[in-house]
Structure 1
Amino acid sequence: MTQSWNNARFKKSCLAGVIAVLLSPSVYALEPLSDNNLSETTGEGVALLPENFKMVFQGPNDISTASSYNNATISAADKPKYDTGFIRIIPTGENYELLYQRAYDKIYKQNYNSNYAYAKANLYQGSYNSIYDTVYNGIYQNGSTTTTTYTTTYSQVKTKNETTYRNQEISPYLKQKTYTDYYNKRYDQYYWNAPALVPDDGTTKYGGAWLNEEKAAENARLNTIEKIEAAYGSTITTAVNNHLKETTLAQIRASANSTAAQQATSAANTTVDNYAKTNAANVANTTATGAITNARTKADVFIYGLALSKSNGNLTERYSNVGLNWGSAANPWLFRAGTAKDIQQFSGANKSDIGYLALEAPLAKDGIDATSDRIKLGFWTDIFSRSLDSMRTINAITGAPESGLDKDYRLRSQFVANGLSINGSQIRLFQTQNDDVNKLYDETLGIAALLRINTNDNPSTLKFTDTNLNEKGIRISTAAKTDADDGTAVTPAMDGSLAPLFNDKDGLYLYSANINLVLGNMYQPFILASEGNNIILEVTRIPKIPAIYSQIYTLYADTDPNPQFQAGTGLTTASFKGSTCNVSYCGSNFSDITTGTNTVRYQGTNATHSSIAIGSVTRDVSTNLLKANRGADATGIVFKSPSGSAVNLGSAVIDGVLIQHLKFKTTGL
């Protein structure tokens, strides 16, 4: 790695002066302050000022002068081949148990259905018949009349049906002439004669029938049946017993059939289901295991040749080998403590000062900053997808895996950015206020982050025909300069081979890319918390509390010139303090820093909305709204082939982005 620093002597008085610039407006920059004066400030910190700074990750060398960029014997075209110092990132990949289960379930379902259909057609009937016959025969016992089942059923049938069957057997005899004549004669005897005068013919003599038709008929019928029983009693009994036996066996057969059919159906379905389950499980287990083993959902990322240097007009080279000054004595990097006054979070009852620890890049100058040192950022990367069973052994010397990387599953790309400025960016860390509703928010680590990545202070005049587009843009490319320049090695980390050379022209070009992101603020913190074993990153919800959301929301007068506010909120058009951060404006809290007789105004840092602009973009100063230019020469997003032919897709703007709520949560940790 090559890096160069110009280490200025940094006196205590200088540190005091820098802090005083930001914390005591009435004091001139670099004016020495005593420790007593410093103790009265609202916060103290450390000012950092990298001067003539540059760096590039190369292969291991003992001294900086061994860098290829300082070696005159290596041609300019070959110097990037030694950018093989790397950062390795190993994402954990997916939840493999869940991935296996998903694959298993999918394969199981497919195979279960096909195996079930086969078993239904080929195994069901055989299983059904076997179980049916066994159960039926076990109950019916070939019509045996000595079983307990028969005896019990017969007793029930006899109680219910014996009288009916006997009457059925007697009924035909009652129709015979002999017995009809007897009945008629006996009827007359009962009807016309007194009971004492009814002749005795061996049957029972009944009384109370004289001149009574119903009683005479009943008595005559009973005497007729007695005559039939006397003549044919044994025959009738035999017939009744046969009826009782047949009915009993019929009931047993019906019961046996019902029970056997039910058990046979259940057993046959179980046979079919078990067959389908067993075969489907076997196939699913084998196939899912193979699928997961061979699945390439495990990543391996190598970031090579990370380089920072002074920007130039070349989007082909990753490193200019020229140092840059990152800030100034009046506007340095700051690592400091501070206090935000009268902050409310989560609840209307919360209102207090919040102390924070901040890392702040140099402030962004208001207006076009032609004097600032712009950054060139470059690196190239090999990104691999690896199988689950790939080797995990690490070479202790190089930090690279000994195997498991496959060139066929590699994405090789290059990133080069010119004209970069992160001025105005800052990160504040603090403890959030109490939240009685959501304990996850309660007194946890809060972050207010303002990330500004800008490549062009004045994108409104950008044209596709401009000759200096490469001075302010980002390029992402993948094509190698030649097949030979792409190398034969999987990745240099494994074998110490040289870095590839990329094509000079191809790739995605993002000219004049200005990205200004607000991730949380003091009123709506971006929190880092935990839930169980899992980590949570969350831009917290904006509460429905006027005193809080009015500090975040923006009132757009052009779309709602006469807003109506809910009674009791106390809101007016002047209540809404939110604004959008873009390359030209990032909040109302401007800073005027005076050095000697020269006063410079710097942009604010309290905007609450984000913007992303690429290419030719115009800003309406009165509303701070961005608008993508639509002219034929507007540019921003451009694709180029390896031969250099370009497709200009024009410019793009995403303006006024407010994150109402955003949550990321790890799973399975």
Structure 2
Amino acid sequence: MTQFTQAKLFRQSCLAAAVSIFAAPSVYALQDLSDEALSATTGEGVALTLENFKMVFQGPNDRSTASSYASGMVDPGKNDTGFIRIIPTGENYEQLGQRAYDKIYKAAYVDAYQQGRVTGYNGVYDSTFLSSKSTYETNNATRITNETIATYSTEYRGRLVQSYLESPTMKAYYDQRYADYYDGSSAGLSFENDGTTKESITPFLKEKSQAAALKNTYEMIELLYGNNSTGNLPTTSTFYKNYVSGKITRSNIIDTTKDAQLNAKAAETLNQLATDYAKLEAQKASDAALATVKKNAEITAKQIASTATVSSLRSKADVFIYGLALSNSKDKNGKSSLATRYTDQGFNWGTAENPWLFHAGNQDVEQFAKDNKGNVGYLAIEAPLKKIAADDASNNIKLGLWMDVFSRSLNSSNVVDPITGAPTSGLDKDYRLRTQIVANGLSFNGSQVRIFQTLKSTNTNYNQTLGLASLIRINTNDRAESLSINDGDLDARGMRISTAARSELDDGTAATPAMDRSAAPIFHETEGLYLYSPNINLVLGNMYQPFIVGSEGRNIILEVTRIPNVPSIYSKIYTYYTDIPGNTTGTSGLTAADFKGSTCNVYSCGTELKANSSDATALYQGRNATHSSIAIGTVERLPGNLLNAKSTDTATGVVFKGVNGQSTNLGSVAIDGVLIQHLKIRTTGL
């Protein structure tokens, strides 16, 4: 970023000379005002009033004696081809070239990357996973099976034997055998031979009887379900007759089940190990494939981007503002319409008692930092003051224009017609925005702009540069609270932005009339965005918080300077809202009365003004408000100078209308108490 290394002083005498030169060509429009009339105005300076004023930009016609509106021709707006052309210049082509390279590189990279994923990446993971898993299983199946048998065979067989041991059949056998050993049956003839080993023990010994009975039970499990299922099992024993005969089919189910469980465990282990191995191999192959795809995409993108040129980029703008017109909102029949841009009727603006005023003044101010004070001289351009009482007569200005805005390629022709100042080629309808703006009932009364040199500052952008304190007031309705969608005169106070032509034949022949001196388009009678009764009051800078115009290198800076954390400065700007719970002035030592900020709206704009000090009451609204407001449509004023957008069924403000006559009413809008804490606009690429 380029910055100033040395502050440039702005001489007030130069500023005064510039303004006087600017004002000189309008001397013929000055009205002779008497001393009595001037004594009733606020301030001193050069006064100006407009009487029966009207104007419209139309194309050159040496044979014309009046505008097309005065001649009574059909569609007089077709002659509204006088234009103002705005051509942004100073493009940074090096920066633009880099942007073009980056844009083409990015697009080429994305295309190559996506194509590479399809051909060289998608499916790599899956195919590698399957092949790696199969290879691992083939190479390790025998090893895993043997390791599983060695590890789990005894455990699995023991669990199966234990399950039979706990079965009702084997518990009954154990109890019988224990009783035989404990009561001495094993020593006598009553001890039955059931195929198990007869133990010789002394009767009535519990532990030895239990051990012998358990040993015989394990033997019986093997005879019935285990590895001795084919051995001799006498069929004459009581146990066989009661529990085995016809109920149990002898087979080695224990070892068969154990082998099946071992095989399942081996398969599960092999599958898990093979899966883990395959995932690692697949991820490595996938990463390698993706890296190759990215590398190839970078190579391809660089090759394509190296041929990039900025000549075909549409980064140039070309703006044509046609038919700029100011006239009375009402036509010769006393009607107001947003379907036409010009009425051919003049309007008056300002009176001898309340004129436009160009004057000089000075004010003691503090700017940017604590105790940074000084007496600042300024030049002021002030529109007539806005009356406190509702004044419908002042809402009498109609503004109309239409424009073509083009996006042009850098290699488009820059040849200009020496007579009209228009290009001879290079404009394309496909890259054009065509729009019309019409506003009725406008009043700029109460607006003012002060031009001055700022005080010294440690910020080089703020230091003794061109400063502005501006109040822009665009109002249309002093009684907007009663506005209704059913009113018959909505067009008398409103703004319309439209784009549709009346028909395809009415949209002109060339890309823009300046190229071939053809007729202007005729816009559709109703289509567009309607803003009914807009009241816009904007504060852009003040004497304590200047709006500066400066530069950084070759870039233009427009900045509403930052409000410093200095009580003696921000108290002149901020508003103290007493209705906010817990609101306090903090430790600054200020009271609520010290905060001088207020909001500007159609009803009030700061401290009210008297025409002169001898007046008993103030007649005009002030000009020292610090907060902005925007109201559109049915908006009422509440106590405390607050605005409220009404939400009744008939409330209106923002309305869309189509070419088919259908309309959509979005209701009213109120944006109140807007304070710009800091705003900076910086052009780039210049």
* Smaller-chain TM-score bracket: 0.5 to 0.7
Aligned twin of 1:468: 489
Aligned twin of 2:680: 663
Residue of structure 2 aligned with 1:563, choices 567, 578, 583: 583
Deviation at 1:50, TM superposition (A): 1.2
Q: Secondary structure of 1:591's partner? A: coil
Aligned twin of 1:636: 653
1:345-369 CA-partner distances (Å, limit 9, x unpaired): 1112122221101111111111210
- 1:109–1:360 distance in 2 versus 1, CA, 3 Å: same
Q: Does 1:309 align with 2:327?
A: yes
One-letter amino acid matched to 2:626:
T
1:92-149 CA-partner distances (Å, limit 9, x unpaired): 478523421431441464477579989999xxxxxxxxxxxxxxxxxxxxxxxxxxxx
Alpha-carbon contact 1:119-1:275 (below 8 Å) kept: no
- 1:115–1:481 distance in 2 versus 1, CA, 3 Å: closer
Aligned twin of 2:76: 79
Whole-angstrom CA distance in 2 between matches of 1:423 and 1:9: 18
Residue of structure 2 aligned with 1:294, choices 302, 312, 337: 312
Q: Does 1:408 align with 2:425?
A: no
Whole-angstrom CA distance in 2 between matches of 1:366 and 1:504: 36
Aligned twin of 2:399: 377
Equivalent residues in 2 for 1:433-512, closer than 5 Å? 433-436=455-458, 438-512=459-533
Q: Secondary structure of 1:294's partner? A: coil
More deviation, 657-666/92-101: 92-101
- 1:63–1:354 distance in 2 versus 1, CA, 3 Å: farther
Whole-angstrom CA distance in 2 between matches of 1:478 and 1:115: 42
Alpha-carbon contact 1:550-1:576 (below 8 Å) kept: yes
Deviation at 1:491, TM superposition (A): 1.3
Whole-angstrom CA distance in 1 between matches of 2:393 and 2:618: 13
Residue of structure 2 aligned with 1:583, choices 581, 602, 605: 602
Larger relative contact order (Cα-Cα within 8 Å, sequence gap ≥ 6): 2
Q: Secondary structure of 2:509's partner? A: coil
Whole-angstrom CA distance in 2 between matches of 1:6 and 1:65: 25
Whole-angstrom CA distance in 2 between matches of 1:68 and 1:594: 49
1:611-638 CA-partner distances (Å, limit 9, x unpaired): 1111000011x31110000001000000
1:135-165 CA-partner distances (Å, limit 9, x unpaired): xxxxxxxxxxxxxxxxxxxxxxxxxxxxxxx
Residue of structure 2 aligned with 1:330, choices 344, 347, 353: 353
Q: Secondary structure of 1:642's partner? A: coil
Aligned twin of 2:45: 45
One-letter amino acid matched to 2:38:
V
Equivalent residues in 2 for 1:175-214, closer than 5 Å? none
One-letter amino acid matched to 1:661:
H
Q: Does 1:394 align with 2:391?
A: no
- 1:531–1:8 distance in 2 versus 1, CA, 3 Å: closer
- 1:477–1:6 distance in 2 versus 1, CA, 3 Å: farther
One-letter amino acid matched to 2:589:
G
Equivalent residues in 2 for 1:569-608, closer than 5 Å? 569-593=588-612, 601-608=619-626
1:240-277 CA-partner distances (Å, limit 9, x unpaired): xxxxxxxxxxxxxxxxxxxxxxxxxxxxxx99999766
Residue of structure 2 aligned with 1:339, choices 338, 341, 362: 362
Residue of structure 1 aligned with 2:665, choices 632, 635, 648: 648
Whole-angstrom CA distance in 2 between matches of 1:571 and 1:599: 30
One-letter amino acid matched to 1:100:
A
Whole-angstrom CA distance in 2 between matches of 1:355 and 1:71: 50
TM-score for both structures, normalised by structure 2: 0.66
TM-score for both structures, normalised by structure 1: 0.68
Alpha-carbon contact 1:6-1:50 (below 8 Å) kept: no
Deviation at 1:556, TM superposition (A): 1.2
Equivalent residues in 2 for 1:116-131, closer than 5 Å? none
List runs of 5+ in structure 1 lacking aligned partners.
24-43, 122-269
Whole-angstrom CA distance in 2 between matches of 1:383 and 1:452: 27
Aligned twin of 2:218: none
Alpha-carbon contact 1:448-1:519 (below 8 Å) kept: yes
Alpha-carbon contact 1:393-1:402 (below 8 Å) kept: yes
Deviation at 1:591, TM superposition (A): 3.0
Aligned twin of 1:431: 453
Whole-angstrom CA distance in 2 between matches of 1:277 and 1:453: 55
Alpha-carbon contact 1:19-1:47 (below 8 Å) kept: no
Between the two proteins, the alignment pairs up a number of residues equal to 485
Alpha-carbon contact 1:115-1:280 (below 8 Å) kept: no
List runs of 5+ in structure 2 lacking aligned partners.
1-25, 122-290, 331-335
Deviation at 1:21, TM superposition (A): 2.6
One-letter amino acid matched to 2:519:
L
| Aligned alpha-carbon RMSD (Å) | 2.9
Aligned twin of 1:528: 549
Alpha-carbon contact 1:430-1:445 (below 8 Å) kept: yes
- 1:426–1:88 distance in 2 versus 1, CA, 3 Å: same
Whole-angstrom CA distance in 2 between matches of 1:364 and 1:579: 17
Equivalent residues in 2 for 1:208-247, closer than 5 Å? none
1:63-105 CA-partner distances (Å, limit 9, x unpaired): 7733112214x23xx2111111011112347852342143144
Aligned twin of 1:68: 68
Alpha-carbon contact 1:120-1:272 (below 8 Å) kept: yes
1:46-75 CA-partner distances (Å, limit 9, x unpaired): 111111100000011347733112214x23
Alpha-carbon contact 1:343-1:354 (below 8 Å) kept: yes
Whole-angstrom CA distance in 2 between matches of 1:343 and 1:611: 25
1:634-666 CA-partner distances (Å, limit 9, x unpaired): 000001111322111100111111100000112
More deviation, 551-560/87-96: 87-96
1:522-577 CA-partner distances (Å, limit 9, x unpaired): 110011112222221110000000010011111111224x633333x220011111
Q: Secondary structure of 1:99's partner? A: helix
Deviation at 1:420, TM superposition (A): 0.5
1:439-467 CA-partner distances (Å, limit 9, x unpaired): 22111111101011111111000000001
One-letter amino acid matched to 1:427:
V
Equivalent residues in 2 for 1:157-168, closer than 5 Å? none
1:260-308 CA-partner distances (Å, limit 9, x unpaired): xxxxxxxxxx99999766543221223x43xx44333322111111000
Equivalent residues in 2 for 1:358-377, closer than 5 Å? 358-372=380-394, 374-377=396-399
Whole-angstrom CA distance in 1 between matches of 2:82 and 2:424: 17
Whole-angstrom CA distance in 2 between matches of 1:373 and 1:479: 28
More deviation, 322-331/274-283: 274-283
Aligned twin of 1:609: 627
Q: Secondary structure of 1:102's partner? A: helix
Q: Secondary structure of 1:321's partner? A: coil
Aligned twin of 1:58: 58
Aligned twin of 1:223: none
Alpha-carbon contact 1:69-1:79 (below 8 Å) kept: yes
Runs of 4+ in 1 over 4 A off after TM superposition: 5-11, 92-95, 111-121, 270-278, 597-600
